[in-house]
Amino acid sequence: MQRAIKALKNKLSTTQHRNVLSMIGAEAVAKLSRIVTLLAMAAFLVPAQYGSAMLALACHDMIRLVLRCGAGSQLVQCSDDQLPAFAKNAVVMQVLLSVTLAALQYTLAIFLGEFYNNPELKQLLQQLSAVYLLYPVVSVRVFLLQRSNKLGYFGFCNGLCVSIENLSIALLLWLGQGIEVVVYGKFIYAILWILLFIRVPVAQYGIGFDWQIFKKLLANSSKLLQSELSRALRINADVLIAGKLLSPEIFGIYSFAKSASIAVSQAFSNAVTTALYPQFCVMQRDGVQSDSVKNIVLLMGLVCALYATQALLAPFYIQWVFGNTWLASIPVAVWLCISAIPIFLIDMVCVAQRAAGAFTLESHVRLAHLSVLVASLCWLKPESPLALAQVMLYASSFCLLLSLSCVKPSKLKQAKAPLCDTM
């Protein structure tokens, strides 16, 4: 028995390293292409246009994150006995969710265009709403691939899609197109995503509908919805509020600072959390406590060091790469890089809670972070990009201290996954 446990530990550790390296490698390639896009947008768009494009993408990405509250996390986490029934009903759920999000974004675009007094924002969001209708074609296949803990192909495809999207945006800008290139880029990404995953070698369970199972999936999804919606709002709260408080030109500077700073390193932290979630689930299902914990702590330290290093280098690479036009964004970028450290640590806390089935606890942490951040921004009403970045750091650091009280092993052990108890 001890030999079996030791062998399993080694397997988990090896898989963990392979997944993380695959995801980080793919993100590295994708972010190199992102630099090309930033160069093109900085060269061909004025700050006001840049701000409008980033605001549209922020609204779209915030709504798109709600797709995570569907069946994806539950397919990764559930037991092998539950998988066939869950997978059949997951197809129906993802289709309904995608159609709902498309209609929701199309409708919200009217309100958001008036709220920000930005007709371009309305047009971009309505065009982007159709992208949601493409994802259900392969969504369950992608979830099953993640469940198998084989993220090498997933990382390659994701990196390729992001790279093609970024390079296509840069090319279209160079050819004289305007801010509508962000819409073209998202459609290119979605179509390529489907082509790469449509024949991925995973088990096929077909399509089915069982009201009892669907209701259980829906109940757990509602809990995940609270968490993902809070996370999406937290990620974009500064942009959404700054778009209203700041002038278009000043908001464009803040948006550029965020794109040139944490938008790059954040991709690596997202790769780490994505790669580690299936690992946490395996450990929960098998009841194994391995040396993987040490590796997780090491990876967390590396990501934090990456943010700190970028904060030190920001004054140099922004001026060297993007020129004197965006010098005002340098101090903002430094503060945003530092603020990303507590945000990443909070995300890791939530990943551990989700893998343990503590969906309600995770939702509370996300909601607390969002509430503190929004309250701070609305109360202090920062009038400059630098003040806004400073508020981000202070609010996130305070929320990290609160979230650390939720990672006691006893709390996670007591939080059984609801979907495992209901079948």
Q: pLDDT (tens digit, 9 = 90+) per residue, 239-270?
A: 888 888 888 888 888 888 888 787 667 767 77
What pLDDT sits at residue 390?
92
29-38 tens-digit pLDDT: 666 677 778 7
Show Cβ contacts of residue 362 under 8 Å, excluding neighbours closer than 6 positions. Answer: 227, 350, 353, 354
CA distances from 320 to 123, 306, 323 (A): 34, 20, 6
What gap in Å lies between CA 186 and CA 172, rounded to an integer? 13
Please provide the distance, in angstroms rounded to a whole number, between the alpha carbons at the two ends of the chain: 29
Residue 14 burial (10 A CB sphere; 0-12, 13-18, 19+): exposed
- Work out the number of other CB atoms within 10 angstroms of the CB of residue 234: 25
8 Å CB contact between 392 and 339: yes
What gap in Å lies between CA 265 and CA 281, rounded to an integer? 25
Asked if residue 405 has pLDDT above 80, the reply is: no
What pLDDT sits at residue 287?
61
- pTM of the shown model: 0.71
Asked if residue 75 has pLDDT above 70, the reply is: yes
8 Å CB contact between 45 and 253: no
Q: Which residue has the tokens 């922004």?
A: 318
8 Å CB contact between 54 and 254: no
Q: How confident is the model at residue 139 (pLDDT cuts 50, 70, 90)?
A: confident
Instruction: Report the candidate in 361, 349, 398 with the shortest Cα–Cα distance to residue 376.
Output: 398
> How many separate helices (H) and strands (E) can be counted in the chain?
17, 0
List the single range of 86-90, 364-368, 417-421 with lowest mean pLDDT: 417-421
The range of the structural domain enclosing residue 326 comes to 2-421
Which helix (H) or strand (E) segment holds residue 405: the answer is none
What gap in Å lies between CA 421 and CA 348, rounded to an integer? 25
Pick the residue with more confidence: 85 or 307?
A: 307
Tokens for 293, please give them: 């914990």
Pick the residue with more confidence: 129 or 211?
A: 129
Q: How many folded domains does the chain comprise?
A: 1
List the single range of 86-95, 252-261, 291-300, 380-389 with lowest mean pLDDT: 291-300
8 Å CB contact between 374 and 237: yes
What pLDDT sits at residue 25?
62
Alpha-carbon dihedral angle through residues 338, 388, 323, 343, given to the nearest 10 degrees: 30
CA distances from 225 to 293, 342, 376, 403 (A): 28, 23, 24, 19
Instruction: Report the candidate in 40, 38, 92 with the shortest Cα–Cα distance to residue 70.
Output: 92
- Mean pLDDT score, 43-62: 85
Instruction: Report the candidate in 210, 65, 87 with the shortest Cα–Cα distance to residue 148.
Output: 87
8 Å CB contact between 11 and 144: no
